[in-house]
A and B are shown apart, each in its own frame.
Chain A
C-alpha cells in the first residue's frame, strides 16, 4: 500500500493517478481518499487502518496544522485523523508527501 498525504488541494489524487498510471474512474476502484474523515467515527483505529491498507493507495489530507479547534468534536476528529495517519504510514510500503503537486518520498521509493 502507498500512503499519500499532504495539505488541502495540493494535488494528492493527481499524484496517485500518475503513480498508478490511471484515470479518475480507475482511481475510485484502486484508491481511497479523504480518509481523515473516517477516523472520528471509529473507536478502533488499528482495525480501520488495516481495512484501508487493503487498497493500493490510501490518501489523507493533513489536518493537524493550525490552531487546535475549540469545538471538542472537531478536536477529537483531528486527533483521530493524525493518529490514523501514523498507523497508515507504519503499514505502508511507501509514504509520499505532496506539496504543490510535487511528491516527496518519506518512506520507501518511487
Chain B
C-alpha cells in the first residue's frame, strides 16, 4: 500500500507520517533519508529528525538520488522523507537526472513498492505560496508538481497535514481509528 503525506513547512507532516508507520505494524522499519548534509542548518535538521525517530525501530538508509537503486527488506514498512528534497537533488545535483527527475523518482517509488509492504511517502506543498517565481525555481516547482500529482494518483491514501491534523484527499479510512 502507498500513502502520500503532504503539507507545508513545519505542518507536522513528518510526525504524522511516523505515526502512520507505527500504525502499519511491527515489521522491519526503514527510513529513507534524502537530505544531503551540506551545511550546519541541514545537519541540525537531520539531527532533529533523528531524535524524533529514536526508539521507533527505524533502520536509516541514505538516498540522495537514484531511488530505484535503494534496497529494502521484503515486507518492510518504509518511510521516504522527503520527495521535495529528493526532487531538488535530482534536478540540481550533478549526480541527479536533471530533466528526467520526475521519471526517476516515480520509477524509484514503484521499485520500492514492489519490495516493501507499506510505503509512506512524505512530500512538501511548495506551490501554495503564490506564483511569483521564475527560472530554475519555477522549473523545479513544475517538476515537483508533476511528481506530487503522479504520486497522488498512484497512492491508496493521500493526506494533507494541517497543523499536525490529517485532511484526507483520497482514502484514509484504514487509518480512521487513530486519526
Q: List residues of chain A with CB under 8 Å of any chain B CB.
A: 7-11, 14, 36, 61-67, 69, 74, 78, 99-102, 104
With a cutoff of 8 Å between Cβ atoms, the chain A residues found around residue B146 in the complex are 9
CB-defined interface of B166-179 with A at 8 Å, one 1/0 digit per residue? 00011000000000
Q: Is B160 an interface residue (CB 8 A)?
A: yes
Classify the secondary structure of B's interface with A. Answer: mixed
B130 near A65 (CB under 8 angstroms)? yes
Q: List residues of chain B with CB under 8 Å of any chain A CB.
A: 4, 6, 125, 127-133, 141-142, 144-146, 148-153, 158, 160, 169-170
4 closest A-B pairs by CB: A9-B145, A66-B129, A101-B149, A100-B152
B169 near A102 (CB under 8 angstroms)? yes
With a cutoff of 8 Å between Cβ atoms, the chain B residues found around residue A11 in the complex are 145, 149
A10–chain B nearest beta-carbon distance, Å: 6
With a cutoff of 8 Å between Cβ atoms, the chain A residues found around residue B169 in the complex are 99-100, 102, 104
B6 near A63 (CB under 8 angstroms)? no
A72–chain B nearest beta-carbon distance, Å: 14
- For the complex, what is the distance from the CA of A81 to the CA of B108, rounded to whole Å? 38
Count chain B CB atoms within 10 A of each CB in A74, A99, A104 and give the residue with the most: A99
B129–chain A nearest beta-carbon distance, Å: 3
- For the complex, what is the distance from the CA of A65 to the CA of B4, rounded to whole Å? 22
A8 near B145 (CB under 8 angstroms)? yes
B145 near A10 (CB under 8 angstroms)? yes
**Assuming the A-B contacts A9-B141, A100-B169, are A65 and B132 also in contact, with contact meaning beta carbons closer than 8 angstroms in the complex?**
no
B125 near A7 (CB under 8 angstroms)? yes
- For the complex, what is the distance from the CA of A64 to the CA of B153, rounded to whole Å? 26
A99 near B131 (CB under 8 angstroms)? no
- For the complex, what is the distance from the CA of A89 to the CA of B142, rounded to whole Å? 26
With a cutoff of 8 Å between Cβ atoms, the chain A residues found around residue B4 in the complex are 100
* Choice from A7, A14, A78, A101 contacting B128 with Cβ under 8 Å: A7
* Choice from A10, A69, A102 contacting B127 with Cβ under 8 Å: A10
> What are 7 residue pairs bridging A and B, where the CB atoms are less than 8 Å apart in the complex?
A8-B127, A61-B131, A64-B130, A78-B130, A100-B169, A102-B170, A104-B169
B40–chain A nearest beta-carbon distance, Å: 25
B132 near A74 (CB under 8 angstroms)? yes
With a cutoff of 8 Å between Cβ atoms, the chain B residues found around residue A9 in the complex are 127, 141-142, 144-146, 149
With a cutoff of 8 Å between Cβ atoms, the chain A residues found around residue B158 in the complex are 100, 102
Nearest opposing residue in chain B for A78, CB measure: B130
